[in-house]
């Protein structure tokens, strides 16, 4: 990949984030590659002088985003990258990471492989989420992992009338509902009892959170389907949350519409590990393969 300018999305709370960013900027500067840093505010010290601030305008000049952190940092970078139709390289700074597979020990080596075009592009489905009130659209979001409707501090269950392609499915009585992509099936949906779905399968998972009726189970639907969720509860502090990072307060009778987005996340990988190897590592699965 011919790199002319690169954007950095950094989680400064992660250990060694500043040091890793400085290493990265050193490598990019030696290659005469322009660097833009999200929220550039002097957190990198003198390295800040080598970079510009990653803004909506400068994002148009960037041909790669690099996230330094965990999966949450990559999710934020993915939404930025999808808007500009550019790929994302995720660097894991520790912790459980299904999306950020490159470690800091392999950083310069991975960048060299990227420069020599020894990489793969992994396309991931995203979701469009719109919130309607009285037939008028109030907000629109894009998600890579999931759209979640949940309660705040209230103790009561909430009621969510759910439709797929305008066909009524069920009114969930639960703490909330997760609408997940296959990529997000290993995130919050998994914690709510949802299935693990291979990320190359275009599907959506409806996973209720602590449902009041035990017979209500997670449901997998097609990637081209459209989900409409109508909030039937009057309680306050009910929110729709995007990838666990953006949110909007809902009111009774609000509609949340979720469907496949025209945008995609394009992840850069180097093919060392397949999806099942990542599952074994991240979930601690045991067992040994039997030779054929």
Sign of CA pseudo-dihedral 239, 243, 244, 248: negative
- Contact predicate 178/148, CB 8 Å: yes
* 190, 218, 229, 145: CA torsion to nearest 10: 30
122 assigned to active site: no
Q: Both tokens of residue 289? A: 């393969």
Spatial distance between the Cα atoms of 205 and 218, rounded to a whole number of angstroms: 7
Residue written as token pair 């492989």:
113
How far is the first Cα of the chain from the last one, in angstroms, to the nearest whole number? 38
- Contact predicate 185/195, CB 8 Å: yes
The greatest distance separating any two alpha carbons of the chain, rounded to the nearest whole angstrom, comes to: 61
Q: Catalytic pick from 49, 71, 243, 254? A: 71
Enzyme catalytic residues:
71
């Amino acid at each position: 990949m011919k790199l002319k300018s690169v954007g950095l999305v950094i989680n400064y709370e992660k250990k060694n984030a500043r040091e890793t960013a400085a290493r990265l900027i050193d490598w990019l500067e030696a290659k005469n590659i322009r660097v833009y840093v999200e929220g550039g505010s002097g957190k990198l010290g003198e390295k800040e002088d080598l970079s510009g601030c990653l803004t909506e305008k400068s994002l148009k000049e960037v041909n790669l985003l690099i996230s330094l952190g965990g999966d949450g940092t990559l999710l934020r970078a993915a939404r930025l990258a999808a808007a500009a139709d550019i790929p994302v390289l995720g660097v894991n700074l520790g912790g459980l990471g299904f999306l950020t597979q490159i470690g800091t020990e392999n950083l310069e080596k991975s960048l060299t492989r990227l420069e020599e075009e020894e990489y793969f592009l992994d396309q991931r489905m995203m979701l469009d989420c719109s919130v309607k009130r009285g037939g008028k659209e109030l907000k629109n979001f894009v998600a890579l992992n999931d759209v979640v409707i949940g309660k705040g501090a209230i103790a009561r269950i909430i009621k969510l009338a759910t439709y797929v392609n305008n066909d009524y499915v069920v009114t969930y009585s639960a703490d909330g509902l997760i609408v997940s992509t296959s990529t997000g099936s290993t995130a919050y949906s998994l914690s709510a009892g949802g299935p693990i779905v291979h990320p190359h399968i275009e599907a959506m998972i409806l996973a209720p959170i602590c449902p009041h009726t035990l017979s209500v189970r997670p449901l997998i639907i097609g990637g081209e389907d459209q989900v409409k969720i109508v909030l039937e509860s009057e309680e306050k502090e009910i929110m729709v949350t995007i990838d666990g990072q953006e949110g909007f307060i809902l009111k009774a009778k609000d509609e949340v519409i979720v469907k496949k987005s025209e945008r995609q996340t394009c992840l850069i990988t180097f093919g060392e590990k397949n999806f099942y190897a990542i599952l074994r590592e991240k979930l601690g699965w045991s067992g040994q393969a039997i030779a054929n």
